[in-house]
Amino acid sequence: MTERSSSRGRAPRGRGLGRRRPAAVLLVPLLLLAGAAGCASAAKAPDLGRVPIPSAPAAPIVPTAVPGHAQLVAMGDAVHLDLGAQQGEITATGPDLAVTAPSPGAAPPTQSPGTVTVRLHVLTGSQQLSAQDLVATDELGRSIPVTVDAASVTAVPGRDGVLHLSGTFAAGHSTLTWNNAGRPLATWDFEVELD
Confidence (pLDDT) at 55: 76
81 φ, ψ (degrees, to nearest 5): -110, 130
Q: Read off the pTM.
A: 0.68
The answer to whether residues 139 and 111 touch, using CB atoms and an 8 Å cutoff, is no
Confidence (pLDDT) at 122: 95
What would the mean pLDDT of 78-89 be, rounded to a whole number?
91
Contacts of 171 (CB under 8 A, 6+ apart): 108, 109, 110, 111, 192, 193, 194, 195
Nearest to 78 by CA among 183, 156, 188: 188
Label residue 161 by pLDDT band (50, 70, 90). Answer: very high
28 vs 113, more confident? 113
Contacts of 195 (CB under 8 A, 6+ apart): 108, 171
69 vs 108, more confident? 69
SS (H, E, C) the chain: CHHHHHHHHCCCCCCCHHHHHHHHHHHHHHHHHHHHHHHHHHHHCCCCCCCCCCCCCCCCCCCEEECCECEEEECCCEEEEEECCEEEEEEEEEEEECCCCCCCCCCCCCEEEEEEEEEEEECCCCEEEEHHHEEEEECCCCECCEEECCCEEEEECCECEEEEEEEEEECEEEEEEEEECCEEEEEEEEEECCC
Query: What is the distance between the alpha carbons of residues 61 and 69, in angstroms, rounded to a whole number?
Result: 17
Averaged pLDDT score across all residues of the chain: 81
Label residue 117 by pLDDT band (50, 70, 90). Answer: very high
Confidence (pLDDT) at 7: 47
Each residue's pLDDT tens digit, 163-195: 999 999 999 999 999 998 888 999 999 999 887
